[in-house]
Amino acid sequence: MTDNKTLYPSTADTQKGTEIADHPVEVGHGGEWHQQDPGAPRMTTAQGTPVSDDQNTLTGGERGPSLLEDFHLREKIFHFDHERIPERVVHARGYGAHGYFECTNPIPELTSANPFQEAGKRTPTFVRFSTVAGNKGSFDLARDVRGFAVKMYTEDGNWDLVGNNIPVFFIQDAMKFPDLIHSVKEAPDRAFPQAQSAHDNFWDFISLMPESMHMMQWVMSDRAIPRSFRFMEGFGVHTFRFVNAEGKSHYVKFHWKPKLGLQSVVWDEAVKINGADPDFHRRDLWDAIQNGDFPEWELGLQIFDDEFADKFDFDVLDATKIIPEEDLPIRVVGRLVLDRTVDNFFAETEQVAFCTQNIIPGIDFTNDPLLQGRNFSYLDTQTKRLGGPNFTHIPINAPRCPFHHFQQDGHMAMHNPTGRANYEPNSWAQGGPRPDPKAGFKSHPTETPGPKRRLRPESFADHYSQARQFYISQTPVEQDHIANGFAFELSKCVVADIRNRILSHLQLVDEGLAAKVADALGHDLPAPATPARAPVDLKVSDKLSILKNGPDSFKGRKMGILVSDGMDKTIFDALVDAVTAEGGMVEIVAPKVGGVTASNGEVVEANQKVDGGPSVLYDAVALVLGKEGAEKLGKMLPGKDFVSNAHGHCKFMAMTADAEPLMKATGLTDPDGGMMTLKSPSDAPAFVQACRAVRFWDRAA
């Protein structure tokens, strides 16, 4: 008999686990990883079977598929998938909308997939955006990866392209996914921090996983704090296959390109937006659709063959790597439009079940070990979360095409096979559905040679080259933001050894970046990490920068106009007209939400009270004030904050001459190139045209 002390050790027995081990830790690549700790207990499965390798899934050959017999992977992911009910373990905070995918450039020569067969063909679609780490009640502007999951209701069944707004991932093998999420979630002994990665557990894990270094450049960049779902890219992350009607295969990577261009916020804005409006992204998507300003993305493809894959510098099955668009240009084949909000959030957005294994004829998988693990995991997750195997009966998950099978009963079954036959093969005349050898789904016949082994292929071993490429591809402003992101997050780590390990990795990414972060932390630079494979220098890729791919108009953006009694109504009207003509939106902010009385006696209603509508909510601001109103606002902290935050966040600013007292109160008496005085109504169009650049980054310098 096992005593309770053995099963449930006391706090004293486990307390030493809260400290950083003082024994040497060897950080290697793939199967070469090991941690030297003679006193550590032997890792086992839940059944007590000793574990030899906790880093790599059992595969058929070095680059072969993951094997179903890997009981350690199965048990580990099975338990992870069932940790939370009913909330999603990851991507819990999400927001969705209906729309359609329209094919603009058919590609039947590449794939038999139904949505790509003819120009103008529209496929109904549901899209869910999400954050990864926080719970359902967390805030929108967390520094986090954003989910970009697309469900297409095709004539051949549902196709789920379950991606992110970042094209790479933290890990190469699904075996490590539970550990990654455990590390970033709130610590189990204290249940905080929530929806943030700035803590010891996360950075401890990352510091021991060199394969994460590329992803961490993206996460510390402004990509992780997008201004809107409408202004961010989406990626399928993995390499998939296209298969045409003749059975010929090509590799494909999926890209969603926002028609409105890329845009993010700065970290100080994100913090303040979360305080002012924690539903900022949700509200933005809702308002855009309700206003008829339907969000739109182009679907771009990177299509290549085995010859390209063999010559490419990195393994196309490695989810921590990209193929730069300069090396393999995007081919646009269609557009995604979101034109309808949900009728009920729970019934649709909360109950929608995405599964990476939901593909249709013409689409197929590759042996990417992270993708293989996701295919294994998602069905299990949704079955547990939604209460049983019949979650496909929920309308948001049900196919829109006819479907027939012999699956029956189970929890909350809405429909069952009719008639006598509930099995196949059968000989009954009305015996139900039969397989279709011609039109049915067929897996592409790829070879799977090699012995069964737990290993990571050597082609996955370069963890720093593309991280360096991402960093050098950014503008100086963006590079500063990345350094600041690392410095802020690492400053929240109590244990100095964790900070030093990250600095040792950053030196292999960029010495200048490492020096900036070390200086901000007050650290001396440690010795560089020893890479499994020495990094190489890659050329700059402009497509990796947000600022190099920003908008070319103010369309879809929002201007906040701060008004007061006695304002010039003609200038106000001209500004509203100019923003509207550009396709932008206006929100009126005033000392009182009831509005103001203009100099001509007209009453203008407000959308926001000044302390409830801070400038962080807007892409540009204008101060259309009367002199007395400006003096009153200059004595109010929210009024001064409205101006000083807009200036500090490098936003374009316009003001009437009577706004001078407010500008003086905030100490901004020396205008720069991002500030314009509106002397007459004719100045309004020029200001809106300047706002197309979104930020006046010269001010940051």
- In angstroms, the CA 470 to CA 26 distance is 27
User: Which distant-in-sequence residues (6+ apart) come within 8 Å of 423 by Cβ?
Assistant: 406
Q: In this structure, are residues 631 and 624 in contact, taking their beta carbons and an 8 Å threshold? A: no
Q: Give the active site residue among 29, 56, 72, 91.
A: 91
- In angstroms, the CA 382 to CA 357 distance is 12
Q: In this structure, are residues 536 and 594 in contact, taking their beta carbons and an 8 Å threshold? A: no
Q: In this structure, are residues 259 and 336 in contact, taking their beta carbons and an 8 Å threshold? A: no
User: Which distant-in-sequence residues (6+ apart) come within 8 Å of 587 by Cβ?
Assistant: 558, 559, 560, 561, 607, 608, 613, 617, 618
CA distances from 85 to 92, 93, 187, 411, 436 (A): 11, 14, 18, 16, 38
- 127: closest CA among 314, 354, 451, 365? 354
CB atoms within 10 A of CB 666: 18
Q: In this structure, are residues 270 and 385 in contact, taking their beta carbons and an 8 Å threshold? A: no
Burial state string for 51-77 with b = 16 or more CB within 10 A and e = fewer than 16 = eebebbbbbbbbbbbbeeebebbeebb
- In angstroms, the CA 329 to CA 71 distance is 41
The one-character DSSP state at 127 is E
Q: Is 91 a catalytic residue?
A: yes
Give the burial class of 242: count Cβ atoms within 10 A of its Cβ; 0-12 exposed, 13-18 middle, 19 or more buried.
buried
- 645: closest CA among 270, 194, 138, 247? 270
Terminal alpha carbon distance of the chain: 69
- In angstroms, the CA 76 to CA 58 distance is 13
Length of the chain: 701
User: Which distant-in-sequence residues (6+ apart) come within 8 Å of 463 by Cβ?
Assistant: 29, 210, 211, 212, 213, 214, 320, 531, 532, 533, 535
- In angstroms, the CA 56 to CA 70 distance is 10
- In angstroms, the CA 643 to CA 664 distance is 11
Q: Give the active site residue among 56, 158, 164, 165.
A: 164
CA distances from 90 to 54, 93, 208, 652 (A): 21, 8, 22, 37
User: Which distant-in-sequence residues (6+ apart) come within 8 Å of 431 by Cβ?
Assistant: 419, 421, 424
Structure tokens, 521: 């932390």
- In angstroms, the CA 544 to CA 344 distance is 37
- In angstroms, the CA 663 to CA 675 distance is 11
Q: In this structure, are residues 634 and 662 in contact, taking their beta carbons and an 8 Å threshold? A: yes
Give the amino acid at 132. V
* Positions marked catalytic: 91, 164
